[in-house]
Chain A
Amino acid sequence: MAGKIATKISDMVDTEWFLALDTELGEKTLSDPELVKGILPEMPDAACLSHWLAFQRKRATAEGQRPLVGEQVVFALKLGVFLLVFLGFICGFSVALGLLTYDGKTPVNLLYALLLLVGLPLISVFLSLLILFFRKKSLPLSYRLFLSLIIAFLFRLLKSAGRKIPLKVQNLLAVRGRQMERFSAQYGHLVRAFAFFAFQAAGFALVLGMMCAFVLKVIGTDLAFAWQSTLMPGAELVETLTRTLSAPWRFFLPQAFPDPAQIEGSRVILKEGIGGLDARHLTAWWSFLLMSLLLYGVFPRALLALFALWRLGERVREAGIQDSRVQRLGFVLRRAALRGEEKNRTPSPEPPRPVQKTPLEGPFLEKTEKPVPGPQAWELWIINEIPESLHQRIAEKAAALMGIEPCGVFTVDMDALSSMNMEAPLTRVLALEVFMPPVREDLQMLREAAVKNKAPFWIFPVGRPRIFPGEEARMEGPDPEDVAIWSKRLEGLQEPRPLLHGEVNHGR
């Protein structure tokens, strides 16, 4: 039943966009004969979603010449990455140009150059790896304390603000918050992977910019490199450092490894300047620096950028839309297809057949017959507080709403809902009185049931029973205000959550 079709970012964006549009416009938009034409009653949610998306795209393209939202978002993302890469390149290029200057008296400080061309890329690679591997590790104690203080302060602010905001608005905010949470849960890892890739690409562009500037300077100008320090370290220390750094290429590229004479020969002594130093020693450092930049800057950065690109691709492939909206979409489309089929088959509708009722309670629920597998198969569960004289009517109404008759009708106890047998992957429709607003306890039980049920878990709202002396109970349509209250509260639950049939009107 999982609705997982999107393998491209543009697919995901378009799906979200059109789902939001359809939610605003209501379910009537889904009964377009052209849309329903390609739907089969046995199609799973993913196939329905795929068909629906293709149809929406086709219609949107036909209606206006503007590109689809998905394409626009992808373009914007590409542009963002390009700008970051460009910025990175320019930064690297400028930094290297700024560093590599020689006026005939002051050579490029070798230690500076190493710090910038090797140290900086290495530090950034190290940080990237930290983020990659230790993102979910617990934070330091001081940071956690600071964070808990901030959270406590924000919570207090929120509480005092909450007293002033009407509950209706609060519920709406909770729904919006839940939508954000859903978005974060669904696409958070994708957004993070994209951000990681964008920054790795920018990082690669930065070192590439540095390298380009370095090569350009080496080729086009006269550069001299020397080393000096107030601490006056011995040439041995610098030699150790260079030997360590050049270890990977020392044996197959010895010319890029500075020998002790070169190290000693490029040491600047205070007051003496570089007048007494051999020009050969001063210029020979470029090959070492270039190799350092390549190996410690460009190479790891390129690897990281490639890894980030692969990771992004994986995340995109893994991402998909699996929630109650897709379940509702699949249900509405399949129902429309079913109704269409019936219309074609029988020109005059048959009177509704009485539904066989199997009133069994408790967790030892057994079905009288094997249900027809498929997304359209469903069971009706009626809460046992609803007067029994209404059950038949509810079953008829629910059958009309679902498009086909249920595999079975059962009366259930609300308290035993979560302990019911839900092993068979069937859609369950729970007929529930909605004239009382849902309390936390009810919502928890309903969510538990929705989590346990592998297929969609629907709520069929039932209004107040009207009982007149000497007459059987009559069913009243649910009050729209009550339905709105239930709908908002259910929307505030985490996915997977129960779906509410908002179009129920029992009439009299």
Chain B
Amino acid sequence: MAAEALRLEFAVVGHPNEGKSSVVATLVEDDAIRISPWPGETRESRAYPVRAGDTVRLLFSDTPGFQSPKKTLAWIQEHEKQMTGRDLARAFCAAHARDLDFTDECEIFSALARGAGILYVVDAARPVRKTDLAEMEILRLVGLPRMALINPKGGSDSVEEWKTALRKTFNAVHVFNALTAGFSERVRLLSALKAMDPDVEPILHPVIHELEQDWEKRIRLSAKKIQDLVTAVSTYALKAEAVDAREVEVLSARLTLRWQEGVRGLEEDCWEQLREIFRHRFFAPSPDLLALVETDLLSREAFRVFGLSRLQLAAIGGGAGAAVAAGVDIALGGAALGLVTAAGGLAGAAWSYLGTRSGDVRRVAGIRVSGFEVSAGPVRDARIPWMVLDRSLLLFHALVTRTHAAREGEKEAGQGLLNVFDNEERKTLAAFIKDAAREKRDGDLTQRVEELLVSILRRISLGKDQRK
């Protein structure tokens, strides 16, 4: 089937201020669509594309709300016997092109005249009223494929009442909260669109498949970006030479700052790329989240909130030490009664614990002085890459769970997300971070970590508390 033939259009219609623009913004992932609590923000019908990669597969038309539903219904009732569908919509537009009372209706019907399927949006927070019944009747008489969307934006007090009323007129009724719907809800809605019309299914099926593949591609790309960030931070180093001995101290302090700024720059580059991947052009994290992800990486607060605690790191270090020492025990044929393993574990734990003493910023940044030469990094404190990873995951979570219709900050900033890792995953990541700090390249480990991050991001995109 030709690419052009795979294009479908749906007109999102309804009463003013029911959240039509929010639904469109969420479905097409476009945060530039004007959304306002003040009714009547949308004044003309405009089609927005849903892309799979670079190809436009679906069009969702945002339309103004009905302003004269009763008069429109009277006209439709008068003419529906002579024509239906697109022709009726076209005739309406032609008859009312110059009538200021029907400006908004003409905009709605112009989308229907193109043969767009109808998505009728209602707010579940309020009861059904006569105006709504008039609107439903208009859409029924027009006779185009239609589905109702119950948008519980202000509450869901009247969902059942709406369902009962809508089922009388619409082929399908779907509850869809435009302000919270994640990718899976969006896909579910697109799948539900198949029920509107049997002709739609063969077109929609490959489109949904393409969209799912596209989402998977975005998750993989994000995992790669985050992995690259962790590697870059682990190996990030600076070097400078002082003019004389007195200058060394000043240079050390300056280099510590530059190192921090450098790491921050790496983080920001990664976040910018994540924003682009998820098409959040105007994404502005809430002040809470911003304060959290922009906390000075070497501050006490950052150490408290992000990454793994010293004890958790000691446990990972102890495990690694014990694994190495166990080899010696085996070689001795158990003559050491496992004492080498225990000693190895203890040494590893102590090394990890003592190696993550907080408080000395310069030590954390890995400041070394050799004569007049001062170098900063690679980072000595194992917690830093974990913290960077944690912050990126937090931002990723905000990006995938925040819909493009949201115009306010997140309600809660949340805490670190490293709890989604199990022990095995932590160990694998710890090994990767250790190798990265030593600039050791292990292709197999890198591949494993990438897959691991993909799996974690997939889980996060489904919900913050999803454990393996």
- Are B36 and A440 closer than 8 Å at their CB atoms? no
Name which of A159-167, A277-285, A395-403 contacts chain B: A159-167
Cβ of B36 and Cβ of A166 under 8 Å apart?
Answer: yes
Stretch at the interface among A57-65, A196-204, A374-382, A431-439: A431-439
- Contact digits for B134-166, partner A, Cβ 8 Å, 1 yes 0 no: 000000000000000000000001000000000
Other-chain contact of A464, B71, B101, B125, B130 (Cβ < 8 Å): B125
If A439-B65, A439-B67, A440-B68 touch, does A385 touch B130 (CB 8 Å cutoff)?
A: yes
Cβ 8 A contact of B157, one of A167, A171, A466: A466
The interface residues of chain B lying within 8 Å CB-to-CB of A433 are 129
Whether B157 pairs with A436 at a CB distance below 8 angstroms is: no
Judge whether B69 and A485 touch: CB under 8 Å. Answer: no
Asked if A404 is an interface residue, CB under 8 A from chain B, the answer is: no
Report the Cα distance A437→B131, complex, angstroms: 12
> For the complex, is A34 an interface residue (Cβ under 8 Å from B)?
no
Instruction: Name the A residues within 8 Å of B157 (CB-CB).
Output: 464, 466-467
A162: B residues at CB distance < 8 A? 43
Interface residues of A in 379-419 (CB under 8 A from B): 385, 414-415
| Residues of chain B from 42 to 83 with CB closer than 8 A to chain A in the complex | 43-44, 65-71
Q: Which one of A162, A433, A464 has the highest number of Cβ atoms from chain B below 10 Å of its Cβ?
A: A464
Which of B41, B68, B130 touches A439 (beta carbons < 8 Å)? B68
In this assembly, does B20 line the interface, its C-beta being within 8 Å of a C-beta of chain A? no
Q: How far is the CB of B150 from chain A (nearest CB, A)?
A: 16
Q: Which residues of A contact B198 (CB under 8 A)?
A: none
User: Does B16 sit at the interface, judged by CB under 8 A?
Assistant: yes
The residue of chain A having its C-beta at the shortest distance from the C-beta of B16 within the complex is A437
B38 contacts A171, C-beta separation under 8 Å: yes
**For A437, what are the chain B residues with a Cβ–Cβ distance below 8 Å?**
16-17, 39-40
In the complex the two chains form, is A464's CB within 8 Å of B126's CB? yes
Q: What separation, in Å, do the CA atoms of A168 and B34 have in the docked complex?
A: 12
0/1 per residue, B364-399, Cβ < 8 Å to A?
Answer: 000000000000000000000000000000000000
Contact A440 B101, beta carbon cutoff 8 Å: yes
A465 interface residue per 8 A CB criterion: yes
B66 to A: closest C-beta gap in Å: 7
Which interface class (under 10, 10 to 19, 20 to 34, 35 or more) fits A? 20 to 34
B interface majority secondary structure: loop
Q: Enumerate chain A residues within 8 angstroms of B86, measured Cβ to Cβ.
A: none
Assembled-state Cα–Cα distance A337/B240 (Å): 85
How far, in angstroms, from A439 to B68 measured CA to CA in the complex? 7
The CA of A385 and the CA of B39, in the complex, are separated in Å by 22
- Judging by beta carbons under 8 Å apart, are A385 and B129 in contact? yes
Given A441-B67, A441-B71, A436 and B41 touching (CB < 8 A)? no
Query: Once bound together, how far apart are the Cα atoms of A190 and B37, in whole Å?
Result: 41
A464 to B40, CA, bound (A): 21
Instruction: Establish whether residues A436 and B15, one from each chain, have CB atoms under 8 Å apart when the complex forms.
Output: yes
Q: Are the C-beta atoms of B125 and A436 separated by less than 8 Å?
A: no
Partner of A481, one of B37, B71, B101: B37
A168 and B101: CB pair below 8 A? no
- Check if B66 sits within 8 Å of A167, measured CB to CB: no
* CB of A157 to closest CB in B, whole Å: 16
A415 proximity list for chain B (CB < 8 A)? 70, 130
Interface string of A270-295 (1 = CB under 8 A from B): 00000000000000000000000000
Q: Residue B327 at the A interface, CB < 8 A?
A: no
Q: Which of A167, A435, A440, A467 contacts B38 (CB 8 A)?
A: A167
Closest Cβ of chain B to A131, distance in Å, is: 33
Residues of B with C-beta under 8 A to A385: 129-130
A-chain residues with CB within 8 Å of residue B71 when the two chains form the complex: 441
The 5 A-B residue pairs whose C-beta atoms are closest, nearest first, are A437-B39, A440-B67, A441-B68, A168-B38, A439-B67
Residues in B lying within 8 Å of A, measured CB to CB: 15-17, 34, 36-41, 43-44, 65-71, 101, 104, 125-127, 129-131, 157
With A166-B34, A166-B38 given, name 9 new contacts (CB 8 A).
A167-B36, A436-B131, A439-B65, A439-B66, A444-B101, A464-B126, A465-B127, A466-B157, A485-B39
| 27 A-B contacts (beta carbon < 8 Å) | A162-B43, A163-B44, A166-B34, A166-B36, A166-B38, A166-B41, A167-B36, A167-B39, A167-B41, A168-B36, A436-B15, A436-B17, A436-B126, A437-B16, A439-B15, A439-B16, A439-B65, A439-B67, A440-B68, A440-B104, A441-B67, A441-B68, A441-B70, A444-B101, A466-B157, A481-B37, A485-B39
